[in-house]
Structure 1
Amino acid sequence: MSSTPDSAVRTYIDAHRAAFLDDLAEWLRIPSVSADPARASDVRRSADWLAAKLKETGFPTVEIWETGLQETGASGAEGAPGAPAVFAEWRSGDDNAPTVLVYGHHDVQPAAREDGWHTDPFEPTTVDGRLYARGAADDKGQVFFHTLGVRAHLAATGRTAPAVNLKLLIEGEEESGSPNFPALVQARADRLACDAVIVSDTGMWSEDTPTVCTGMRGLTDCQIDLYGPDQDIHSGSFGGAVPNPAMEAARLAAALHDEDLRVTVPGFYDGIVELTGTERELFAELPFDERRWLRAAHSHGAAGESGYSTLERVWARPTAEVNGIGGGYQGPGGKTIVPSSAQLKLSFRLVAGQDADRIQQAVREWVAARLPEGIRHEVTFWGATRPCLTPLDHPYLRSLTRAMGRAFGQKIRYTREGGSGPAADLQDVLGVPVLFLGISVPSDGWHAPNEKVELDLLMKGVETTAYLWDDLARTAADTPAAETPAAR
């Protein structure tokens, strides 16, 4: 049993809830839209606001970290400035206390009343226990609950510093694709060194089914450009006698999967971490309504790799998608030509055990092997995000599950994320497990008009963190390093 008393935590949270929400509303009024250059000063104002609030919370070390000013090329010219990140640190003072890094972001998606908002997106409005504002759930609300959580932890335990060495890294460019984040993590790896990362930029299955995410897929995507004749040529004079790049683009797209919808690129599945029987059972416990899911997907049917459920396909299996295909004449009526070029855009979602560089090389070789003489081609990859996965038996994951279970008063189940994010950068550079702590639910409407957060769930996030730091410290003390499974 943890030494953090539940009643003391809840009493403290209840007493400080109103002031906490007032502070959060003040932060939400700052339109920190990183994608809009005109809002750069607001993104900086957001970082400054958070830094000041973290100092007020009690963090002895709070810093604004600049991004995007690395030298480029032999000329030594500096790159364009990026958005500022906020770093904070609060040492435990206990010998052998584990170090935990909390990740989140303070930038938000664009929003305007004319997009369909019922209220001003940057004037927080509370209706029926829901706080409506851009960033309420993604991600200011979920970042900010850590401030009240650590204060409740201290008040309930009588400590003057957290039970763990607590660090925060709150970036300012996540909604713009985190262009400077990998370089920032590499450059500051010594300051960010930790035993585990907590990502509070995620969600739960639903209000009634609290869950912990255990992993995210990676991503790499590309464009394949195919070139045939040096110009469009007459299909009557030359068609059927010279290679057609549009036809070859279609052949590539059709050949990407076999009849079981498995990816045919040689070596694509080599080394992947397969779903365990336990994981499949836990996924099956979730109250998944496929018809409802299909309505949300605006799709009229489910499809995918044979032998796997829909949830398994989107969370735990690698995929290849045709994102676009084109070439030749696209205007009204007909135009009887053999086009000179065609394009194919592909994306590959990756799971633990797959390496993006290896997948990219395999795709290049697959394309080259399938094209006939007379078709020149180029394959251009735009980058990669690595997958991350924390095993179910990891002691720190169990600690998070216990803390969340105490806050919610019920069993916590497990999910994964089908998408991709910057968490893998932290896992790869720091070499530690990534744990996902989020309380947002699908109805919160991330990136959509009328984004909101359920206030009672937000308080559950506060409560979870109040229990978590003491539980993690006890878990670290009781678990020899040799028995801690590595993250994947």
Structure 2
Amino acid sequence: MSTTPDSAVRTYIEAHKAAFLDDLADWLRIPSVSADPDRSADVRRSAEWLAAALTRTGFPVTEIWDTPSAPAVYAEWPSGDPDAPTVLVYGHHDVQPADRADGWDTDPFEPVVRDGRLYARGAADDKGQVFFHTLGVRAHLAATGRTAPAVNLKLLIEGEEESGSPNFPALIKARADRLACDAVIVSDTGMWSEDTPTVCTGMRGLADCQIDLYGPDQDIHSGSFGGAVPNPAAEAARLVAALHDADHHVAIPGFYDGVVELTDRERELFAELPFDEARWLRTARSYATSGEVGHTTLERIWARPTAEVNGIGGGYQGPGGKTIVPSSAQLKLSFRLVAGQDTDRIQRLVTEWVADRIPAGIRHEITFWGATRPCLTPLDHPALQSVVRAMGRAFGTGIRFTREGGSGPAADLQDVLDVPVLFLGISVPSDGWHSVNEKVELDLLLKGVETSAYLWSDLAETRTTGSWKQT
């Protein structure tokens, strides 16, 4: 669909890739670990470095947005065309902790290129995937002869994603007018494999809680009182046993109401992926699959809601026996949610379900932590198809579809800005996010650059055909 010349894009990338990689290496040397208070100055230095780099790239507006914790970087580059769509790219510049003593082959903050791979903390998650847009937009301009992108291009690169984005929802609500756009591109995700390029179409939401159960005012003798007073540890076990039915469906009434079911086409596309269940089990350090009857493993982790027991405890846990009725017990539960489920409603349903099952003589408290909403972009969404076409041109092959089983801040952008969220990532599972020897495959990184270069013209042309509003 796009008229951006492929050969011109590739020629530009080839001529500038060395300088691009040198710049990326400079950024990777900054240990922007948001979880470490001693690195707060480095996180700010990372934001300042990126803001300067975006200015050099050509963005006429670059700003550092402070939060109560780590700073975010905002940039914008108007198209100059009053009819052009506005696209916001999201990523993050903070990284996970890393130290040579953890088992790294080299210093994690001294980038090393070896066997076509760039090793450094943040190479894939997420500095490399943020930075490929800088060369991508310059290649786009060079190939089209434009002086500004074909879309109104905005970037929001946060500084505390690896710490759970505690201030991100408040930031985007406060800055919603500046962030207004027609679509969001999230470059903080990956592909199925090097041989199977894919586009992610959604992420699950999350609601998690702690349930504290209280019985006697202190631990009491099980011989004198056991069997005659309620036991909070036993009640915790009963709650866990009642959480699922025999087919591993979540047994909380109303839990599945509104769930957007997989279409037959989506199930077919999942089934086409080269999924090796035995290998997946080895990665999971597990010995058998288990889950909701009637769904495959990929469907269970990508497109179905779940309830998991994250922890259960109560009473005596030391060596030997101690014959007591414990005074308290505790459960930690998490619920992964899919499109059509509302986090507030799920929290209410769980609260009511727990209250209905607690017997007299047991007091309980339930505490929910921050909730993340699910997000999903339909396969036929025109903006998603632009991403697919741009990736297909860069990779020279058909693009398949995945989802993410985890949760992230993308849903906050979708909810606050009321726009579709699209995912563009080139990382692969072997890149070792959050692990030792994190790396990015250089050929895939440059494919990300090329995809970015094609994308802006395609989105501009696609936007003229109809609305992009989330359906």
Normalising to structure 2: TM-score of the pair?
0.99
Taking the TM superposition and a 5 Å limit, the aligned residue runs for 1:78-227 are: 82-227=69-214
Gaps of 5+ in 2: none
Determine which of 461, 466, 470 is the counterpart of 1:480.
Answer: 466
Percentage of pairs with the same residue: 83
1:241-274, CA deviations, whole angstroms, 9 ceiling, x for partnerless residues?
1110000000000100000000001110000111
C-alpha contact 2:110 2:120 (8 A) present in aligned 1: yes
C-alpha contact 2:88 2:154 (8 A) present in aligned 1: yes
Quote the offset at 1:157 in angstroms. 0.3
Taking the TM superposition and a 5 Å limit, the aligned residue runs for 1:280-291 are: 280-291=267-278
SS at match of 2:369: strand
1:84-109, CA deviations, whole angstroms, 9 ceiling, x for partnerless residues?
11000000011210000000000000
Quote the offset at 1:480 in angstroms. 2.2
C-alpha contact 2:34 2:43 (8 A) present in aligned 1: yes
Normalising to structure 1: TM-score of the pair?
0.96
Question: 2:421 aligned with 1:428, yes or no?
Answer: no
Q: How many residues of Structure 1 are paired with residues of Structure 2 in the alignment?
A: 471
Taking the TM superposition and a 5 Å limit, the aligned residue runs for 1:397-416 are: 397-416=384-403
Aligned to 2:38: 38
SS at match of 1:401: helix
Q: Residue 387 of structure 1 aligns to which amino acid in structure 2?
A: P
Determine which of 316, 319, 335 is the counterpart of 1:348.
Answer: 335
C-alpha contact 1:394 1:485 (8 A) present in aligned 2: no
SS at match of 1:385: coil
Quote the offset at 1:191 in angstroms. 0.2
Quote the offset at 1:3 in angstroms. 1.2
C-alpha contact 2:92 2:160 (8 A) present in aligned 1: yes
SS at match of 1:383: coil
SS at match of 2:291: coil
C-alpha contact 2:173 2:416 (8 A) present in aligned 1: yes
Quote the offset at 1:474 in angstroms. 0.3
Aligned to 1:16: 16
Q: Which runs of 4+ in 1 moved over 4 A?
A: none
CA distance in 2, matches of 1:485, 1:60: 28
Aligned to 1:49: 49
Quote the offset at 1:485 in angstroms. 5.5
Quote the offset at 1:426 in angstroms. 0.3
1:164-205, CA deviations, whole angstroms, 9 ceiling, x for partnerless residues?
000000000000000110000000000000000000000000
Q: Residue 132 of structure 1 aligns to which amino acid in structure 2?
A: Y
Question: 2:442 aligned with 1:455, yes or no?
Answer: yes
CA distance in 2, matches of 1:50, 1:480: 34
1:269-310, CA deviations, whole angstroms, 9 ceiling, x for partnerless residues?
000111000100000000000000000000011000000000
Question: 2:302 aligned with 1:315, yes or no?
Answer: yes
CA distance in 1, matches of 2:430, 2:345: 38
CA distance in 2, matches of 1:222, 1:3: 51
Quote the offset at 1:235 in angstroms. 0.7
C-alpha contact 1:205 1:211 (8 A) present in aligned 2: yes
Return 150-159 or 362-371, whichever deviates more: 362-371
1:123-181, CA deviations, whole angstroms, 9 ceiling, x for partnerless residues?
00000000000000000000000000000000000000000000000000000000110
C-alpha contact 2:182 2:469 (8 A) present in aligned 1: no
In angstroms, what is the RMSD of aligned CA positions? 0.6
Q: Residue 174 of structure 2 aligns to which amino acid in structure 1?
A: A
CA distance in 2, matches of 1:372, 1:425: 38
SS at match of 1:320: strand
CA distance in 1, matches of 2:117, 2:86: 34
Quote the offset at 1:399 in angstroms. 0.6
SS at match of 1:108: coil
Quote the offset at 1:323 in angstroms. 0.4
Quote the offset at 1:371 in angstroms. 1.4
Aligned to 2:235: 248
CA distance in 2, matches of 1:43, 1:485: 35
Aligned to 1:72: none
SS at match of 2:268: helix
C-alpha contact 2:95 2:125 (8 A) present in aligned 1: yes
